[in-house]
Amino acid sequence: MNTFFVESLDESVSLCGDDHNHLKKSLRIRPGEKVKLSDGAGSYGIYRVVETADTTLLEREGGVKTKEVPVKINLYQGIPKKKKLETIAQKCTELGVNALTPVVMKYCERPQVDFKRLEKIILEAAKQSGNPILPQIGDIKTVNEINPKEDLILVAYEKENRPLKEVLESRPDAKNIAVFIGPEGGFSEEEVLALKDLGAQSVSLGENILRTETAGPSVLSVLRYVYG
């Protein structure tokens, strides 16, 4: 079912502009068909299309529902090259990340972020996947500016031998998880030590060295499988 995002899930809702044009001209949705509307925070409703003239008028069928998330996941991503960050944002949105914070690290080559472009990609990925939660994009931080409050903090570190599986098995009660992924050049030892001082646990993702755009989605997939 096609998903659109609105500010309020009222009984009657109108879509205009890009959403109206996409629904009418690209998707060719007609009166009587149904779509899902979400407020971006996890609440959503099923709406029937009433008319698609100048704007799209929809009426809610049934009540508003809320997606229950067993664990919230925040991704702290070392800033890679532009296209790679866009790929990471897209795939992690599909996998249900709750927040994405770009982090400047020692081995970042071009620590720049096009936030407007990133927001557009996240919105499109949420629509495509039907995810009613729009991930929050945090301001750019350095490792020294971060003070994560999650009850489980993971650092995917290529020099670590302890498997991710072992750490997760020891924390079945985790409700809020922070995941740190390095840029193309990985973490410096100083950065890993600084994160460990904040309570982080470094973990191995296996024998193979993963690209930065592969590592984040891989960890997200495992966490969603383990915690739901």
- pLDDT tens string, the chain, 228 residues long: the values are 999 999 999 999 999 999 999 999 999 999 999 999 999 999 999 999 999 989 999 999 999 999 988 999 999 999 998 799 999 999 999 999 999 999 999 999 878 899 999 999 999 999 999 999 999 999 999 999 999 999 999 999 999 999 999 999 999 999 999 999 999 999 999 999 999 999 999 999 999 999 999 999 999 999 999 998
For 100, the token pair is 């994405």
Task: Check whether residue 147 and residue 180 sit in a common domain.
Answer: yes
> What is the spatial distance between Cα 103 and Cα 80, in angstroms, rounded to a whole number?
9
Domain boundary among 66, 89, 118: 66
Supply the DSSP string of 181-216, one letter for each residue.
E--TT---HHHHHHHHHTT-EEEB--SSPPPHHHHH
Task: Check whether residue 43 and residue 125 sit in a common domain.
Answer: no
Kindly state the helix (H) or strand (E) to which residue 118 belongs, with its residue range: helix 115-129
Task: Check whether residue 79 and residue 25 sit in a common domain.
Answer: no
pLDDT at 82: 79
Task: Check whether residue 60 and residue 130 sit in a common domain.
Answer: no
Task: Check whether residue 163 and residue 200 sit in a common domain.
Answer: yes
Count of domains forming the chain: 2
Residue numbers of the domain that contains 146: 72-227
Task: Check whether residue 211 and residue 128 sit in a common domain.
Answer: yes
The CATH number given to whatever domain includes residue 54 is: 2.40.240.20
Domain boundary among 18, 47, 66: 66
Task: Check whether residue 90 and residue 50 sit in a common domain.
Answer: no
> What is the spatial distance between Cα 133 and Cα 156, in angstroms, rounded to a whole number?
25
Give the closest residue to 156 by CA, choosing from 192, 193, 185, 109. Answer: 192
Global pTM? Answer: 0.91
